[in-house]
Amino acid sequence: MHSRFHHSEKISWYQDGHLKEVFDMRYSGNGYCYEIEEVNKCLINNLLESDKLPPGVSLSLITILDKIRDEIGLVY
């Protein structure tokens, strides 16, 4: 990844020490831009869920985050 890895707009792929390809990517901004785009796509296409992230994965993530909040004493 190029500089500012968390905001990078390029990834260089090296194989055996030689540059093979550079991928240019658009940077959409901070936060949940990609998630919002996916929700909009699903709504436009009358989909109840995304094929990119099944509901079970979301539930697992929420469970993990709830445990972390409990362990560190974070209360909203």
Structure tokens at 30: 């901070």
> Which tokens in the block code for residue 7?
């905001």
One-letter amino acid for residue 51 of the chain: D
Give domain limits for the chain: 5-72
Residue 14 has φ and ψ, to the nearest 5°, of -110, 140
52, two tokens? 């990119």
Tell me the CA distances in angstroms from 34 to 13, 16, 37, 58, one per residue in order.
Answer: 23, 33, 5, 15
Q: Tell me: the pLDDT tens digits for 4-44? A: 777 778 889 999 999 999 999 877 777 788 889 999 999 99
49-73 pLDDT per residue, tens: 999 988 899 899 999 999 999 999 9
